[in-house]
Amino acid sequence: MQGILEAPFGQGYQVHAITVFALVRSFGGDLPAAYAAQAVAATVAVAIAWRMWWTPDADPLMRVCATCLLTLFATPYGWIYDGIPLALAVVLLAGRQRSSVALTTALLPLALLWFWPYLNRGVTIAAYPLASLVILAAAAACSRAALESRGAAAANGHIADPQLHPARLGC
């Protein structure tokens, strides 16, 4: 696996890569630069996940969705077939739209996200492997939705299950 990951960018299979590591390599970055960028990406993913999971009344379903996407963002070895959480994000984010205007506004980004597995290869060939940025944007949207739900849940008297708080789970 390491040989596949560290091969010079331009191999045929690399059009299916979805990682920050592949993005840096596509710009001509050497291995230390790619590993450093991936380490930064992983640190960002951990920070976002930590913030979400230590917010006790954040929407648990959106936290799970964002965490799945952040896992993809954090790994250096990821391929488009690993992108199943993108579909989950589309369904959950579309379901959160409270009006037809909001849904209409969200349709283009959600459609791009839904079709990203089909678009990824063409975008990578024509430009660069931008999937990691798409994944980060989707994770940020899910994370934001999870954290924004706090005020709405408290206002409606609905608090997320305290059993799901990391402190209760022994984390």
Segment 93-130, tens digit of pLDDT: 888 777 777 667 777 788 888 888 888 888 888 888 88
Mind listing the pLDDT tens digit for each residue in 62-85? Answer: 888 899 999 999 999 988 888 888
* pTM of the entire predicted model: 0.76
Mind listing the pLDDT tens digit for each residue in 10-20? Answer: 888 888 888 99
Contact 120, 17 (CB under 8 A): no
Q: Where do the domains of the chain lie?
A: 14-153
Residues 6+ apart with CB under 8 A from 162: 56, 168
* DSSP character string of 19-63: SHHHHHHHTT--HHHHHHHHHHHHHHHHHHHHHHHTSTTS-HHHH
CA distances from 163 to 53, 58, 65, 68 (A): 12, 13, 18, 20
Q: Name the DSSP class of 156.
A: T
Tokens read off for 107 = 């349709």
